[in-house]
Homo-oligomer: A and B are copies of this chain.
Amino acid sequence: MADKVLIYSRFPKTMMARFAERFELLDTGGKPAREVFSADEVGGIRAMLTAGGSPLGAEAMDLFPKLGAIVCYGTGYDGVDLKAAAARNIAVGHSPGANAASVADIAMTLMLATTRRILVADQYVRSGDWAGSKQSPMMRPQAGMPGRRIGVYGMGEIGRKIAARCAAFESEVGYFSRSKYDLPYQYFPTLEALADWCSVLMIAVRAGAETQHVVNAGILKRLGADGYVVNISRGSVIDEKALVAALSDKTIAGAGLDVFEKEPHAPDALTALPNVVFAPHIGGHTLESHVAMQNCVLANLGAFFAGQGLPYAVKTA
């Protein structure tokens, strides 16, 4: 009989297909497990698959008395209460680095699309305004990449890939993270100093309680009127209200956002703005990164049911 895995978050069925070949999946479709499955079934659950951003605290864990493994699909695990899991002897796994290139690439896509005003450009051609030689203030020449100062906040796998890509664009790269690394980029000891220096802030930090609203009105003001912010980490890192204000009153020039405070909702005040490029949290959403993330999930679940430690366990400091 196949080992059972509870699907805790809502995932498209196509993403679950490979898991269904090896495990019996109990798919909640994102609903409370007790609504969908019998008490017996829920009581027997030993492993679950979740989206790292889905809240999963002590109370939720206690609904599954035999739970031994929480496996996150993707890199993030900010929704999981790691202390509560450790206290219950529940292993937590994720897919470190599996989607790093894909996420770094969406960061680059959003930066380039925003700074080169590609939405406005596309509309200018499609509408016939170009053919009609209509003036478009949004199409004025903008600063380009060579010599541009790009500040990367967070120097994990995604941050490093963003930095390497920006360097190829002949930009200057600086970064702030808790640790200084042996990397060919300028290190800034505070986020404030980085924001003062750079004109594009790329948020690639691992999100958590300590990064909540760290990019606030003060940081945005330091970026300045020709400044941009790009967020591919988690929506919680930016104070979204302060961002709407800064974009509306031209405190900064624009933003590229793949993540939001309350997904899948983006505030109307934000989505009405012309100087932002939006994506619906598709950073890790490429064919190869899904395969790589699924490989990590399969390895974690396989090891767990074989009584071994998770090969891609979340490292708790």
Contact B165 A168 (CB under 8 A): yes
Tell me the smallest distance from the CB of A97 to a CB of chain B, in Å: 12
Write out the residue numbers on chain B whose beta carbons fall within 8 Å of the beta carbon of A264: 130-131, 133
**B-facing residues in A28-47 (Cβ within 8 Å):** none
Contact A145 B285 (CB under 8 A): no
Over the window 127-140 of chain A, the binary record of Cβ atoms lying under 8 Å from chain B Cβ atoms (1 yes, 0 no) is 00011010000010
Contact A101 B146 (CB under 8 A): yes
Over the window 256-281 of chain A, the binary record of Cβ atoms lying under 8 Å from chain B Cβ atoms (1 yes, 0 no) is 00000000111000010000011110
A169 and B278 CA atoms in complex are apart in Å by: 21
* A17 close to chain B: CB less than 8 A: no
Contact partner of A287 (CB less than 8 A), chosen from B143, B164, B271, is B143
Write out the residue numbers on chain B whose beta carbons fall within 8 Å of the beta carbon of A142: 285-287
A142 and B145 CA atoms in complex are apart in Å by: 26
Contact partner of A144 (CB less than 8 A), chosen from B144, B271, B287, is B287
* A3 close to chain B: CB less than 8 A: no
**B-facing residues in A93-131 (Cβ within 8 Å):** 101-102, 105-106, 108-110, 112-113, 116, 118-119, 121-122, 124-126, 130-131
The total of chain A residues at the interface (CB under 8 A) is 49
Given A264-B130, A264-B131, A266-B131, verify A145-B278 contact (CB < 8 Å): no
A141 and B130 CA atoms in complex are apart in Å by: 32
A146 and B141 CA atoms in complex are apart in Å by: 31
Write out the residue numbers on chain B whose beta carbons fall within 8 Å of the beta carbon of A146: 101-102, 288
Given A147-B288, A278-B126, verify A112-B116 contact (CB < 8 Å): no
Contact A109 B112 (CB under 8 A): yes
A222 and B34 CA atoms in complex are apart in Å by: 53
**B-facing residues in A281-297 (Cβ within 8 Å):** 282, 285-290
Binding site for B on A (CB under 8 A): 101-102, 105-106, 108-110, 112-113, 116, 118-119, 121-122, 124-126, 130-131, 133, 139, 141-147, 164-165, 167-170, 264-266, 271, 277-280, 282, 285-290
Q: Can you list 19 residue pairs at the A/B interface with Cβ under 8 Å? A: A101-B145, A109-B109, A112-B112, A113-B118, A119-B122, A121-B280, A126-B271, A130-B264, A130-B266, A131-B264, A131-B265, A139-B282, A141-B287, A142-B287, A143-B286, A144-B287, A144-B289, A165-B169, A167-B168
